[in-house]
Structure 1
Amino acid sequence: MAQALCQALENHRPGRESLEQVRPAAVLMPLWDDGKRVQVVFTKRTETLPSHAGQISFPGGMVDPEDPDHKTTALRETHEEVGVPPREVELISRLDQVVTVTGFLVTPYLGLMDPAARFKPNPVEVERVVLVPLARLLEKKNYQTVDMTWEGMPLRQIALYQGQDMIWGATMRILLNFLEAVGPAAGQIAALAG
């Protein structure tokens, strides 16, 4: 499956945003083989966080001044949030940047987690780990348009439900960009992912 993903993404040139007054951040879109199928690892953020509280997101966060690059940020934050150290993640590709309505410029990376990786969520930041089969994310029929209210604003968003959890916003835009980048190889990758 990793080889098919690499082939699908080899000609993709990730989009870059050029904006002022945004805060740089990086996230990891982690793929983890649980022994039955490949899962995409998300986090449900705690309700006490100052931004994006209670939302489903990829592990990640703001770039620290000590981070030499955005890859380091994505891997460091993944370790801090879900307990998987950088040595247990193989980065495959950088994905298209997205800008959040809260003023973050997010650089996402796609990575494979070691199948032996064990999750230890940080209870301050992560309520729980949410696993979604990669094959499910690669099927556009699983996405729907929803009307919602966020901070008093009515919004129409593309979303994906996984049980009681709704994936939307910047995380959804990263997923949609990933789907576009993978293109016609999505079906083959979904079959290989189990």
Structure 2
Amino acid sequence: MSDLSSRLQAALARPGRPSSDYDLNEAMTLPAGRVLRPAAVLVAFEDTARGPQLYLTKRSSHLKHHPGQIAFPGGKVDAGDADVVATALREAREEIGLPSENVEILGQLDPHETVTSFSMVPVLARVTTPFIPNPEPGEVEEVFTVPFAHITPANFRIEGRRWRGTWRSYYAAPYGPYYIWGATGRILRSLADRLAQV
């Protein structure tokens, strides 16, 4: 087990709490009678000679929701999925070509509620065997990695923009040409906070 795997498992053993895209926007009114759809994402890293690297994707620019944004591989739970872990592994296989047998599951973070009405479970994992990423052209424009060392509270800042006529604040942790924000930024900030306590 890698040192980061041990730290992640220690972080997961600590109490957590659900997060949401509304965390920094207390004045925002949540939709009345909203129904959240189950979803999962794979937060996967690989130990390399350059240190642990976190896998992320850049979504295709023609997608209806979140075009061009930085995201984890993942999506909604399908009827044939045994659980959220199965969903995260299936989506990673479909979106970036990550074989499920190359993955060691470490655990799960608390669900994250998105503005698109998903209850999204981040599944933490280690890529045990190197693979060649193969982005699914319909959904993924690019697969890339970020040093896991970038995932620290000091690298996150609060920014804002107009959304549906109101000002919305969110966490952002830009890395090179990649603007990590939104649900991805919020999930990584939660993970950074928990890692900082171990």
- Under a length normalisation based on structure 2, what TM-score does the superposition of the two structures give? 0.84
Counterpart contact for 2:40–2:120, Cα < 8 Å: yes
Alignment partner of 1:166 is 2:169: no
Q: What is the identity, as a one-letter code, of the residue corresponding to 2:115?
A: V
Which segment drifts farther, 76-85 or 143-152? 143-152
Equivalent residue in structure 2 for 1:61, among 63, 75, 82: 75
Q: Kindly indicate which of the two structures has a greater share of residues assigned to helix.
A: 1
For each residue in 1:118-147, what CA deviation from the matched residue of structure 2 results, as whole angstroms up to 9, or x when unmatched?
A: 211111111001311111112x22112223
* Cα distance in 2 for residues equivalent to 1:184 and 1:13: 12
Counterpart contact for 1:61–1:73, Cα < 8 Å: yes
Structure 2 residues without counterparts, runs of 5 or longer? 21-32
Shift in Å, 1:152:
5.4
Tell me the equivalent position of 1:70. 84
Tell me the equivalent position of 1:175. 188
Counterpart contact for 2:170–2:186, Cα < 8 Å: no
Counterpart contact for 2:171–2:189, Cα < 8 Å: no
Tell me the equivalent position of 2:36. 22
Alignment partner of 1:95 is 2:106: no
Equivalent residue in structure 2 for 1:4, among 2, 7, 17: 7
Counterpart contact for 1:33–1:115, Cα < 8 Å: no
For each residue in 1:13-68, what CA deviation from the matched residue of structure 2 results, as whole angstroms up to 9, or x when unmatched?
A: 56499x95111110010111232211111100001222221110111001111111
- Under a length normalisation based on structure 1, what TM-score does the superposition of the two structures give? 0.86
* Cα distance in 1 for residues equivalent to 2:104 and 2:129: 11
Counterpart contact for 1:96–1:177, Cα < 8 Å: no
Please report the RMSD computed on the Cα atoms of aligned residues, expressed in angstroms.
2.1
* Cα distance in 2 for residues equivalent to 1:170 and 1:124: 21
Q: What is the identity, as a one-letter code, of the residue corresponding to 2:57?
A: T
* Cα distance in 1 for residues equivalent to 2:170 and 2:195: 22
For each residue in 1:96-131, what CA deviation from the matched residue of structure 2 results, as whole angstroms up to 9, or x when unmatched?
A: 111100111101110001242221111111100131
Alignment partner of 1:117 is 2:120: no
* Cα distance in 1 for residues equivalent to 2:66 and 2:121: 17
Q: What is the identity, as a one-letter code, of the residue corresponding to 1:4?
A: R
* Cα distance in 1 for residues equivalent to 2:9 and 2:150: 19
* Cα distance in 1 for residues equivalent to 2:89 and 2:123: 9
Tell me the equivalent position of 2:23. none
Counterpart contact for 2:151–2:189, Cα < 8 Å: no
For each residue in 1:141-186, what CA deviation from the matched residue of structure 2 results, as whole angstroms up to 9, or x when unmatched?
A: 211222323465432222010112211111112112212332322x
Structure 1 residues without counterparts, runs of 5 or longer? 186-194
* SS across alignment from 1:176: helix
Shift in Å, 1:6:
1.8
* Cα distance in 1 for residues equivalent to 2:77 and 2:168: 28
Equivalent residue in structure 2 for 1:80, among 88, 94, 103: 94
